[in-house]
Amino acid sequence: MEGSLYRKFSISWRGTRFQGPNSGFLLAGTWSVPLSGTRGSGSCLEVGGNDTGVFFPNRPRSIDLAILGSTQAGTHSEPSRRAATVKIEPYALVQTKKSRGGGMATQSSQRSVETARSVGSLATALFDLNLQVFPQDGTNLPSGEPLEIVQVLQGGLLREKAQCVAREMEIRDLKDKLKDAERSAEISSADALSIGKKNQELEETIETLRLEMVMAINGARVTARWELMRVATEEE
């Protein structure tokens, strides 16, 4: 439009090309934007996007603005150039930087809460152990550093282990004594059987001798009678 004042922006988006709806295919991201209510071709370019609908949220971009100021009145023009570089960062990266301070504070508060919970849980566990478990062996857990508590527990475990080992040794000794008694009983039973057999043999021998004695006595009587009868017959 002749006789009007306007400025032309030459916008170069590094590594990207744009296509506007009114200006056709623009090389190297060149864009024409009107200023101060004047008309012009092209459309406004939003930060972080383009007319093609492509959005790169995680890559920082730099836009070079070559501001060309010119006043057209007929054929007379006096161009003046000013160059400026604008660094634009993605929204996600800015939000991450902003939330770092709050995140650190949140982490520290969470750590303090977790520490308080662990201390309370430790105190509750110590109270339960002292009340229900350790009164049986006289152990009393201190409410101090965890290292001291662990050392006390280790000492109690070592004492309990020594007692268990002593009991196992006593049980083994009793088992050995029981085995010896069983062997003695077996030997005694064997001896009793042998003695019983010997007694039976002696009884049988005695019975045999008694029978032989009876037979001998009866034979002697018969013999004596025959002798008396022979003598009597001879005298007659």
- Higher-scoring residue by pLDDT: 122, 220: 220
- For the chain, where are the E strands, in sequence order? 5-13, 18-20, 24-26, 61-71, 80-88
- Over residues 65-107, the pLDDT tens digits come to 444 444 444 444 444 444 444 444 454 444 555 555 555 546 6
Count how many residues are written for the chain.
Answer: 236
Asked whether 84 and 69 are in contact (CB, 8 A), the reply is no
State the Cα–Cα distance between residues 71 and 76, nearest whole angstrom.
Answer: 8
The verdict on residue 66 lying in a domain is yes
Question: What band does 40 get if pLDDT is binned at 50, 70 and 90?
Answer: very low
The verdict on residue 94 lying in a domain is no
**What is the CA angle 169-157-140, rounded to 5?**
130
The verdict on residue 135 lying in a domain is no
The verdict on residue 229 lying in a domain is no
34: nearest Cα among 17, 55, 61, 9: 9
State the Cα–Cα distance between residues 212 and 164, nearest whole angstrom.
Answer: 71
Number of folded domains that form the chain: 1
Q: Residue 2 CA to chain centroid, in angstroms?
A: 80
Q: Residue 128 CA to chain centroid, in angstroms?
A: 24
Judge residue 65's burial from the number of C-beta atoms within 10 Å of its C-beta, 0-12 exposed, 13-18 middle, 19 or more buried.
Answer: middle
Question: What band does 148 get if pLDDT is binned at 50, 70 and 90?
Answer: confident
Share of the chain above pLDDT 70, in %: 38
Boundaries of domain holding 45: 5-89
The verdict on residue 120 lying in a domain is no
The pLDDT, as a whole number, for residue 53 is 44
pTM of the full structure: 0.29
Cβ atoms within 10 Å, residue 11:
19
The verdict on residue 14 lying in a domain is yes
The verdict on residue 133 lying in a domain is no
The pLDDT, as a whole number, for residue 96 is 54
User: pLDDT at residue 223 above 80?
Assistant: yes
User: pLDDT at residue 26 above 60?
Assistant: no
- Over residues 43-52, the pLDDT tens digits come to 444 444 444 4
Question: At what angle are helices 146-235 and 91-128 packed, to 10 degrees?
Answer: 40
The verdict on residue 225 lying in a domain is no
- The highest-confidence range among 4-8, 96-100, 111-115, 156-160, by mean pLDDT, is 156-160
